[in-house]
Amino acid sequence: MKTVKSSTASTTNHERERRARAAIAAALFCGFALYIAWHASHESQTRPVDELPMSTARGDDTSTLIADADKPELIKRGAYLARIGDCAACHTADPGRPYAGGLPISTPFGKIYTPNITPDPDTGIGRWSDTDFMRALHEGIGKGGERLYPAFPYVEFTRVTGQDVLAIRAYLSTVAPVHYRPPTNELRFPFNQRWLMILWNLFNFNEGRFVPDPKQSAEFNRGAYLVEGLAHCEACHTPRNFMQGLKTTGRFSGATQAGWQACNITPDRTSGIGNRGDDALISSLSTGIAASHASAAGPVADVVQHSTQYLTHEDLRSIVAYLRALPPVSGGVRRQTKDSDVLMPAFGDELNTEQVAAISSYVINQFGNPQTSITAAQVAALRAQPR
């Protein structure tokens, strides 16, 4: 009889504990849901505005370009800004249908197809208002209220001023409309649930426009505005966390993209761009070739082809000025195979100055500038520099 009572009491205790855990979980879920609802209701009140116009970052006056979205000069400016953002590269799968989307983007969670951004009213953005377009770029929310996936770099585009967003919008309204509906995304469950982007954004997205640093030059601020915003350089050159958000540490220190290594573009002299002159960097961005350095290949070659070669010399110099001011991040060349990590070994202690010069000259002649060579004296001078 005592055994039966003891068993009954134990069952009752377990049931109470189960109910208590369920109540705690329900309370936590309700609390989180209330927070999301509160955040959404207050979002319009707390949403940051364009704190300073781009003219402040650039050092010129563009106020005359935003008076009328139909003005030819605004459309021309929007075309240039679309080049900076490399919009055509991602939203064009078929060169015969520019901006019609359909380009597959592979992610760890499945495949995403880029949308049609031509002014077609049924399959494109022809029925989008300026507000819809701005909300997509600034907040990552589509016309129907759906959460956009961060394959679309709204994490960076949020920094672009409203003036520039509307200029891009004005340009896209002039491109030929294409009636084409891209394939449906191929994302595994639960990653095909767009509402989960609310959680992702809480940890990986900070909405807000670019604010120039008053302590820095106009050239630096212009470069920061381009690199951190419309050019979205971090999307490829910054490592990602387990959620595929950008890591807050190691910014611009390099990452793997589409099987290619996006290089370290911090001013570290060994791993980054610290040993390259301004002219070499500008040449890399404008032509994909820099004397004494390898030529652009893979995704970065596409960026040069579709985007950076069209930038003005002033914007290229601004980008270089900003990159020069980044904190240097060191690291070695690293590749990962299915079996192990592969590190490029150091040969500094095994090769003499003449051997290093000979190897360097061969590599540069084969893959860079055939007219350039490295002398033993140059190698000796580099080795004498402090590390």
In this prediction, residue 342 has a pLDDT band, given cuts at 50, 70 and 90, of low
pLDDT tens digit string along 292-318? 566 666 677 778 878 888 899 999 999
Distance CA 11, CA 108 (A): 44
pLDDT for 214 equals 93
User: Which of 81, 83, 117 minimizes the C-alpha distance to 102?
Assistant: 117
User: Which of 335, 315, 371 minimizes the C-alpha distance to 83?
Assistant: 315
In this prediction, residue 92 has a pLDDT band, given cuts at 50, 70 and 90, of very high
pLDDT(185) > 60? yes
Burial class of residue 172, CB neighbours in 10 A (0-12, 13-18, 19+): buried
pLDDT for 133 equals 96
pLDDT(36) > 60? no
pLDDT for 14 equals 60
Confirm if 112 and 192 have CB atoms less than 8 A apart.
no
In this prediction, residue 13 has a pLDDT band, given cuts at 50, 70 and 90, of low
pLDDT(325) > 50? yes
pLDDT(115) > 60? yes
CA atoms within 13 A on the CB side of 185: 19
How does the average pLDDT of the chain come out, rounded? 79
pLDDT tens digit string along 219-247? 999 999 999 999 998 888 888 888 888 88
pLDDT for 236 equals 86
Lowest mean pLDDT among 126-130, 142-146, 191-195, 341-345: 341-345
| pLDDT greater at residue 49 or residue 219 | 219
H or E stretch at 2: helix 2-46
pLDDT for 336 equals 62
In this prediction, residue 26 has a pLDDT band, given cuts at 50, 70 and 90, of low
pLDDT(62) > 50? no
In this prediction, residue 334 has a pLDDT band, given cuts at 50, 70 and 90, of low
User: Which of 45, 47, 68 minimizes the C-alpha distance to 163?
Assistant: 68
pLDDT for 15 equals 64
pLDDT for 138 equals 97
Question: In the predicted model, what is the mean pLDDT of residues 78-84?
Answer: 95
In this prediction, residue 192 has a pLDDT band, given cuts at 50, 70 and 90, of confident
In this prediction, residue 61 has a pLDDT band, given cuts at 50, 70 and 90, of very low
Lowest mean pLDDT among 58-67, 100-109, 202-211, 366-375: 58-67
pLDDT for 297 equals 63
Beta strand ranges found along 101-161 (DSSP E):
104-107, 110-113
What does each C-alpha distance from 131 to 84, 276, 339 come to in angstroms? 22, 43, 50
Question: In the predicted model, what is the mean pLDDT of residues 202-229?
Answer: 93
The C-alpha angle with vertex 302 and arms to 287 and 205, in degrees rounded to 5, equals: 115
User: Which of 29, 2, 160 minimizes the C-alpha distance to 85?
Assistant: 160
Lowest mean pLDDT among 38-52, 138-152, 264-278: 38-52
In this prediction, residue 132 has a pLDDT band, given cuts at 50, 70 and 90, of very high
In this prediction, residue 2 has a pLDDT band, given cuts at 50, 70 and 90, of very low
The whole-model pTM stands at 0.69
